[in-house]
Structure 1
Amino acid sequence: MNQALPIENLITERFNDLFLDLKQAQQNLLFEGKPQLSRVEIEQSKTKRSLLRVEKQAIQEKDLNTKSEQSFLNSITAQINEEVERQLIEVINDTDYLYEKILGFDDAVVTLLDMAGLKAATISKIEPLACDVPWLYNDLLKMINQPKYRRVDSKGKVVVVDTIRAAISFFGIENLIIVVTCLAFRRALPQITDPYPTIKIRIWEEALATALASKKMAHTLGLDPNHAFCLGMFQQLGKIVITKLYFRIFDSVQIQALKETEGARQHEEHSALLKLSPTGAFLNELITRYGLKTSSQLIARMNFKRIFISQAMQARAENKQASKSPSLSEVLAQSHGYAQYRILKHHKLIDLQQSKDFIRTLNMPKGSLEILKTVDLRTLNLTFSAE
């Protein structure tokens, strides 16, 4: 990475590194801006002596061979990436497939969220809709019975919640949009992303921080905080979809290429293909190109009737200024940038001056930074009405 990069680009690169691997991101930070040593210099530093001419020549020849092999490997990788992207573009045009098969969403979730957004909503109206969501019973009860949400009766005995009605009552209708949004989102997270096993953690971390920051900012600006929370979290649906598809399509394309090169007795190509693994840098490129647009498609597909986030997401994906100010799309852009800053700060991947320079580019509303500083963006801290 180059320290001379504009601050927005620098933060993007740091965040992309973190998305793939925290240790690698920390290592990249250590070597940022430092000149790269040649193979001869590295070997000489290991031996702590001057190398003989014949030793230098041998190292340089080995280096040339390695570079030639790497060049061939890069060529094969480029061909695989091109085919992966071609197939990915075809798939992401089928929004229904992404919605139902890749995310595992169904319209019962949307109906439930819409009902929860009504001021006149009651538990008796919400309960049957909640029962229509196949996974919600198990997930909701598992969540409500966690130690941080447990309640005790007058005798100090833990109250175990075992019905959806009781769970909704415990959380309160005012929290239901947030709870269901989080549970639906978590179920959609990618699970197998080797060789980058922590990707699902990073997506959740980014989505939750953005959603919580959006909710807080919306509240202070007089916008609907629940809508802002949904938008902040669902903005990451495109990232989930692109990530899941990338690993699936990569495996498929690699297997097909191995079969073809084996059949054609292309031994060098076959050997190179066996060395390939999913490329994190290319995955980040695909997310940058198609992530927000895909999120916009999916939110439009949800067809919410009472949660008004589709137009804001479209404006965000197209990088357009909304007609009214303040707007949810502006809140989302600023909250997402602020969330990235807080996450990088937590992982010690940004210094004080870089923080100041980056936050300045976000054009945050007056007073919002002071408010957001007090918000924990790593935990879903629900507030409950007094009984």
Structure 2
Amino acid sequence: MTMGVSTPPTFDDRFENLLISPDRVLAMLGKRRAGQISFEQSEQGDARRTLLHVEKVAIENKRLQQKSEASYLETVNHQLHEILMGELVEHLGDTPEIFSDVLNLNENIGTLLDALSVKACSVSKLEPIVASLPWLYDELIAIVNSPAFRRKDSRGRIIVVETLRTALSFLGVENMRMLIPSIIVKRSIPQVTDPYPLIKQKLLPYSTGVAVTAKHLATLNGLNKNEAFTLALLSNLGRCVVTRLYFKLFDKIQLHLLKECQKDGEQKRHEALLKITPSANHLIALQQEFADSITADLFEHMQLKRLRIALSMRTCADKIPAKIGTLCKLLHQARTYTQVRMLHQQKLVEIIDVKPILAEQKYPTGALERLKTIDIFNLPLVKNDAER
């Protein structure tokens, strides 16, 4: 009889922790370095349970009198996160604020995405919309002048692109259909996530992987490949919102509580607050609870008229069983496949263990074999002749 063998972490737990830090997954698998706590000792499960009751729990909830420093720290940490969750839920009720102030996106993003979605899309139709977004203009100029896209004249001299119209023409509409949603996600990704700096490095490859996978699956399912790509890529906007708000509110609330302690002379609590750092487990719990719903809210806020992705995102957010051959089901399939690829790259999962998970998604015949040959983590951009 084997003694002391704990239950292996679930596939979902492995992936959610991978997006924060691969070291966390290693710890979950019992491969932790000296000084790291095990997953069984983490508060992730408790964080999820707390989340379900956060709106019912008053901020002035009773302070448990604990003898040990560890339990006292846990109490102070719990109190801080109660306040944080309450404020976060309040922020999530204001979608326009989330769109403009949290993600720093402009109100005409929906118009731009609609323009990209139609077959008759052209450089002349895109130019005035893109021109109203200075940050997008800067990104596109940088891309068109990069080694991958730069052009040379008849004498072999590099052509430096300086105007938006030339940039759009050199890049081409088909590339723009992939580049612009990707730039939107890139702009939305939080940049300050200490003590977990890898978050910003993982979100864009994950979003890209889901989008490229969805585009290929759409072709096999007879669905609109551009709708599938854009839905999949932008489906992580809610994840970006939760992450941005979590770290922003953590710093704000911790500073406020520290000032209160100084004012009231609570030295012990002040010292405890200084030791508390952002919790990956609380962040994961918040993402699992709110991310897809926020994305659906953002899609509806954009008032998309031609890009038909809002209803599919809402179906996914409401956890309504997705039917085979729908964009919602395709998003589930693309997410699962990308998660498997990312975990397998880091040697954090064995293919034999995820075969049942892949089988459950019911991919089209031949889809998995085809996807194996594709680099899903880079946009399939191509050089093209200038468009007018």
What corresponds to 2:40 in structure 1?
A: none
What corresponds to 1:360 in structure 2?
A: 359
Opposite residue 77 of structure 2, the aligned amino acid is T
How far apart, in 1, do the equivalents of 2:267 and 2:7 lie? 43
How far apart, in 1, do the equivalents of 2:148 and 2:25 lie? 32
How far apart, in 2, do the equivalents of 1:316 and 1:3 lie? 32
How far apart, in 1, do the equivalents of 2:24 and 2:289 lie? 23
How far apart, in 2, do the equivalents of 1:67 and 1:195 lie? 28
Matches within 5 A, 1:243-262: 243-262=243-262
What corresponds to 2:290 in structure 1?
A: 290
Matches within 5 A, 1:1-387: 4=7, 10-31=10-31, 68-322=68-322, 325-385=324-384
Q: Secondary structure at the match of 1:100?
A: helix
Preserved CA contact (<8 Å) 1:151 1:158: yes
Preserved CA contact (<8 Å) 1:3 1:10: no
Q: Which runs of 5+ in 1 are unaligned?
A: 38-65
Opposite residue 196 of structure 2, the aligned amino acid is Y
Q: Give the alignment's TM-score, normalised by structure 2.
A: 0.85
Opposite residue 22 of structure 1, the aligned amino acid is P
Opposite residue 215 of structure 1, the aligned amino acid is K
Task: Give how far 1:262 is off.
Answer: 2.4
What corresponds to 1:62 in structure 2?
A: none
1:114-152 per-position Cα deviation (integer Å, ceiling 9, x unaligned): 112222222222212221222222110101111122233
Preserved CA contact (<8 Å) 2:215 2:225: yes
1:54-104 per-position Cα deviation (integer Å, ceiling 9, x unaligned): xxxxxxxxxxxx992111111111111111000000001100000001111
Kindly, what percent of the aligned residue pairs are identical?
A: 34
Opposite residue 243 of structure 2, the aligned amino acid is T
Aligned length: 351
- Larger mean CA deviation between 120-129 and 337-346 belongs to 120-129
How far apart, in 2, do the equivalents of 1:172 and 1:232 lie? 22
Opposite residue 184 of structure 2, the aligned amino acid is A
1:270-317 per-position Cα deviation (integer Å, ceiling 9, x unaligned): 211111111111111111111111111111111111111000000111
Preserved CA contact (<8 Å) 2:170 2:384: no
Q: Secondary structure at the match of 2:196?
A: coil
Task: Give how far 1:381 is off.
Answer: 1.9
Opposite residue 382 of structure 1, the aligned amino acid is L
Q: Give the greater-gyration-radius structure (CA).
A: 1
Preserved CA contact (<8 Å) 1:109 1:133: no
Q: Secondary structure at the match of 2:376?
A: coil
Opposite residue 259 of structure 1, the aligned amino acid is K
Task: Give how far 1:23 is off.
Answer: 3.0
Opposite residue 21 of structure 2, the aligned amino acid is D
1:22-41 per-position Cα deviation (integer Å, ceiling 9, x unaligned): 23333433438xxx99xxxx
What corresponds to 2:61 in structure 1?
A: none
Preserved CA contact (<8 Å) 2:206 2:377: no
How far apart, in 2, do the equivalents of 1:93 and 1:115 lie? 29
How far apart, in 1, do the equivalents of 2:96 and 2:349 lie? 39
Preserved CA contact (<8 Å) 1:92 1:98: yes
How far apart, in 2, do the equivalents of 1:220 and 1:132 lie? 37
How far apart, in 1, do the equivalents of 2:335 and 2:312 lie? 14
Preserved CA contact (<8 Å) 2:220 2:364: no
- Larger mean CA deviation between 91-100 and 145-154 belongs to 145-154
- Larger mean CA deviation between 226-235 and 166-175 belongs to 166-175
How far apart, in 1, do the equivalents of 2:354 and 2:292 lie? 24
Q: Secondary structure at the match of 2:192?
A: coil
How far apart, in 1, do the equivalents of 2:305 and 2:321 lie? 23
Preserved CA contact (<8 Å) 1:137 1:163: no
Opposite residue 121 of structure 1, the aligned amino acid is C
> Higher RCO, 1 or 2 (CA under 8 Å, sep at least 6)?
2
Opposite residue 193 of structure 1, the aligned amino acid is T
Task: Give how far 1:319 is off.
Answer: 1.4
How far apart, in 2, do the equivalents of 1:141 and 1:371 lie? 34
Q: Which runs of 5+ in 2 are unaligned?
A: 38-65
Task: Give how far 1:227 is off.
Answer: 1.0
How far apart, in 2, do the equivalents of 1:385 and 1:161 lie? 15
What corresponds to 2:63 in structure 1?
A: none
How far apart, in 2, do the equivalents of 1:309 and 1:169 lie? 27
- Larger mean CA deviation between 261-270 and 10-19 belongs to 261-270
Q: Secondary structure at the match of 1:31?
A: coil
- Cα gap change, 1:385 to 1:148, in 2 (>3 Å): closer
- Larger mean CA deviation between 73-82 and 105-114 belongs to 105-114
Q: Secondary structure at the match of 2:140?
A: helix
The structure with the greater share of residues assigned to helix is 1
